[in-house]
Structure 1
Amino acid sequence: MAVAAKNIPAPDLVPVRRALLSVFDKTGLIDFAKALAAAGVELVSTGGTAKAIADAGLPVRDVSELTGFPEIMDGRVKTLHPGVHGALLGVRDDPEHSAAMRKYGIEPIDLVVSNLYPFEEVRRSGADYASIVENIDIGGPAMIRASAKNHAYVAIVTDPGDYASVLNALEMNIGSLSLDFRKKLAAKAFARTASYDAAISGWFAEALEIEHPTWRAFGGRLVEVMRYGENPHQSAGFYVNGDKRPGVATARQLQGKQLSYNNINDTDAAFELVGEFDPDLSAAVAIIKHANPCGVAEGDSLKAAYAKALACDPVSAFGGIIAVNRTLDAEAAEEIVKTFTEVIIAPGATDEAAVVASDAFFPFADGLLSAIAAGATAVIQPGGSMNDKDVIAAADEHGIAMVFTGIRHFRH
């Protein structure tokens, strides 16, 4: 049945007087709750979240006070109640909605802070079927979607990383949040529940061995914005889902420039290829260019294996991706850096190996110090900064080698 819109304009600024907090991930929760309370916001909460807030010495109302109904069924049913969803979905400038809220004693909620049971993490951990099902959140997504739909009056926060921006917005608007800000929060909230449901449906298809489900959803969390897409004029982002799959998605970038789509794609191919070799039996090196192997070889050491792999096609190896199946040591690293390489992926690296190359000068010493902290022992860079002396001094102080090319080459 289609519902006709009443064309009631949304207010620009909505004062935040009451907030409902119900989170699994309690990162930053107490500091955020303290800031809200200090701003005169009434705190309403559920279960473990309410206990954490109360233990911090903050006044908090249990959600059962709003609903007149206790949490039941091990907390499965606590916010699924008209007292909550009426407070979230009510269009406050609609006379009929306002009358219903007054009639049933529904108090409006202006801000909702909710994140979900960690379904993706539990799935990735290899837990049993029952444990995974138990971590499918129901009340959280329902509350998030209700708040996001009614962003005309309600702000929904699903990411602890947004707490600071919410507090900043409240301060700037003297206790209110703008419509534009509420829209952005709503968009992020719908994306989160979509990704969450995608992970659940994907797991069910996998668990039940349904190869071609009628509906297939894909979702993931942004890990990083990439340097560019398949071509330099295209944009790209790197997203991960809840799959239990080691590789590029679980790797940590130690140093170097921002990765591109091609870097990720080729690095994944190199990782998969070198993963075919048992590191306990032999050292192995794979060199990939445009997702095709330039060379792959085994040896008694990474240095020996690299020499064999490079000999397969030394021309195509230039600007390629290298994967090794053992900890990268100094001897292998010294050989690898003789040819320009985009990415090296390894299980680990010795301190003598994590070397930094930069296509731009270091304007200050802080960038160099970050590289040193990551384990770099040698740096090559163009030079030419007004603060070259400070950068050189920092290198000398930490006993690392630094080479100046005198040529700056940007790629935008």
Structure 2
Amino acid sequence: MTKRALISVSNKEGILEFAKELVALDYEILSTGGTKKMLQDNNVPVTAVDEVTKFPEILDGRVKTLNPFIHGGLLGKFDEPSHQAQMNEHGIEPIEIVCVNLYPFVETISKPDVTWDDAIENIDIGGPTMLRSAAKNHQYVTVIVDSSDYAKVLAELKGQGATTLETRKRLAAKVFRHTAAYDSYISNYLTEEEFPENLTMTYELKQTLRYGENPHQKAAFYQKRLASDFSLAYATQLHGKELSYNNIQDGNAALQIVKEFDIPAAVAVKHMNPCGVGTGASIEEAFDKAYEADPTSIFGGIIALNREVDVATAEKLSGIFLEIIIAPSFTEEALAILTQKKNIRLMTINCAQQNQDKLKVVSVEGGLLVQEDDTFGLAEADVKVVTDREPTEEEWEALKLGWAVVKHVKSNAIVVTDAQMTLGVGAGQMNRVGSAKIALEQAGSKAKGAALASDAFFPMSDTVETAAAAGITAIIQPGGSIKDQDSIDKANEYGIAMVFTGVRHFKH
């Protein structure tokens, strides 16, 4: 009986060599379209699929392999007498190897000028159907969807005349993952509902990690295709050790904060909370402010910058123990300085593309929580001055900075700022006044004349009382408590300007 392999690929990397090796092993090659032409042009003997199906390709190639002569050959059990009898009766020959990859749907929809018709035409039908048929029948059929598996299959064919059941099972599982991911991209492209009845998402393995949050936990980093370049998943690492699980979490937190700023900004993060945020006329000045905000906690932290790192900034960065520095770019001189530190990770990221995922997903035991991303800024808020005194121009700048940062701090969150930097951060406390005390203690004497931002309303006036005692002169908060008037009265008592935004920024 002639051994047959069906080959039809859009990604032709390595396929010519693979086909030649199969021919040398006495396989007849079946093929279609561009794959068939490429093999013929390179003198590889090929049988056209329409010779097997006895039916021409129709509907502009939409129908060519959807035929019993193909799928009977893929799904028939080689050692089942009733299957063999039916195949013999209808002249169907088995196909032992299937090598197929699919129309480039994701690549097509990635194009900025893609049309709806182009996207639809690049939805593969015959390819996934052949793959699924072959994968279902993996007890007998070897199915390959990834060029990295060619060498393994050939080695087994040459060594023992056939692939092992273990290999065929592994390849079949890979096929079903592949077709599931392919269908996920299509369904997401076509779906208009914000929260459909089934939510399917696909991520590709970027790297396995040394461990997770703790050394006893295994972990891996997956990336999403079609995601923003403004992401650690698509950052370029120029130097240093491999990223850890905690590095990725902290780096992501730093990026979410630094993207809030159009002016030069520097963000230092520890344990997914900012320990220092600074802005300035230059990136060096911004970093100086971020460092000054908390020179203790920045030790071992992650730094995100939104401007190129120059020599002056690099010299200051090199004087501190840091895990990661993320920036749009580094000058050659800056790199020369920073790469003297063996382990520090230096990453570049595309700040120009900051498209956000519309939905944020968090895993919980047995399910997922899905919500819109919190992109609501002060510009969209219904800002109201609720006290007798309005903020001064400088206080407004401090309030804007505080409001940009506080939404990225774990709730309950309080941030104390001046016009250019954070002075104190209180995060994750079980009561709001507790967070305020932490932030104000960190700010110390710098709290006098500073602003205070709260991610949610004050349930009572004690936070205002505490802020006033530390010298705070301006407060920004959402408002909305049934006791708002108590806080307003207390602010008026101390001459504090207070602004309501009408928007809460809890972050759990």
Cα shift at 1:356? 5.8
Cα shift at 1:146? 0.9
2:233 matched residue in structure 1: 249
User: Structure 1: which 5+ runs fail to align?
Assistant: 1-14, 360-370, 375-412
CA contact (8 A) 2:206 2:223 kept: yes
Write out aligned runs for 1:24-39 (5 A). Answer: 24-39=10-25
CA contact (8 A) 1:256 1:356 kept: no
**Structure 1 residues 324 and 169, CA, compared in 2 at 3 Å: closer, same or farther?**
farther
**Structure 1 residues 287 and 60, CA, compared in 2 at 3 Å: closer, same or farther?**
same
Task: Please give the per-residue CA displacement for 1:293-336, whole angstroms capped at 9, x wherever unaligned.
Answer: 22222223322221211222222222222222222333322222
User: Structure 2: which 5+ runs fail to align?
Assistant: 349-508
Alignment of 1:262 onto 2:246 = yes
Q: Report the secondary structure of 2:267's partner residue.
A: strand
**Structure 1 residues 356 and 105, CA, compared in 2 at 3 Å: closer, same or farther?**
farther
| Among 59, 63, 80, the residue aligned to 1:73 | 59
1:155 matched residue in structure 2: 142
CA contact (8 A) 1:16 1:41 kept: yes
In 1, Cα distance between the equivalents of 2:122 and 2:250? Answer: 35
| Among 207, 210, 224, the residue aligned to 2:207 | 224
Q: Report the secondary structure of 2:237's partner residue.
A: coil
In 1, Cα distance between the equivalents of 2:3 and 2:139? Answer: 15
**Structure 1 residues 272 and 129, CA, compared in 2 at 3 Å: closer, same or farther?**
farther
Q: Report the secondary structure of 1:176's partner residue.
A: coil
| Among 170, 185, 192, the residue aligned to 1:184 | 170
Cα shift at 1:193? 1.0
Cα shift at 1:170? 2.2
Residue 28 of structure 2 aligns with an amino acid whose one-letter code is: E
Identity %: 49
**Structure 1 residues 357 and 182, CA, compared in 2 at 3 Å: closer, same or farther?**
farther
In 1, Cα distance between the equivalents of 2:178 and 2:212? Answer: 23
1:11 matched residue in structure 2: none
2:428 matched residue in structure 1: none
1:144 matched residue in structure 2: 131
Alignment of 1:97 onto 2:83 = yes
In 1, Cα distance between the equivalents of 2:326 and 2:149? Answer: 32
Q: Which structure has the larger Rg?
A: 2
In 1, Cα distance between the equivalents of 2:120 and 2:256? Answer: 31
Q: Report the secondary structure of 1:264's partner residue.
A: helix
Cα shift at 1:217? 1.2
Task: Please give the per-residue CA displacement for 1:212-244, whole angstroms capped at 9, x wherever unaligned.
Answer: 110111222211112222322212222223334
In 2, Cα distance between the equivalents of 1:324 and 1:229? Answer: 26
CA contact (8 A) 2:5 2:98 kept: yes
Alignment of 1:324 onto 2:302 = no
1:113 matched residue in structure 2: 99
Cα shift at 1:94? 0.7
What CA RMSD, in Å, does the superposition of the two structures yield over aligned residues? 2.2
In 2, Cα distance between the equivalents of 1:112 and 1:328? Answer: 51
In the superposition, the TM-score normalised over structure 1's length comes to 0.77
1:132 matched residue in structure 2: 119
2:264 matched residue in structure 1: 283
In the superposition, the TM-score normalised over structure 2's length comes to 0.63
- Of the structure 1 ranges 52-61 and 116-125, higher mean CA displacement relative to structure 2 is found in 116-125
CA contact (8 A) 1:125 1:244 kept: no
Name which structure has the greater RCO, CA cutoff 8 Å, separation 6+: 1
**Structure 1 residues 73 and 32, CA, compared in 2 at 3 Å: closer, same or farther?**
same
* Equivalent residues, number: 340
In 2, Cα distance between the equivalents of 1:357 and 1:189? Answer: 44
Cα shift at 1:78? 1.3
Alignment of 1:294 onto 2:284 = no
Alignment of 1:170 onto 2:160 = no
Residue 216 of structure 1 aligns with an amino acid whose one-letter code is: L
**Structure 1 residues 198 and 50, CA, compared in 2 at 3 Å: closer, same or farther?**
same
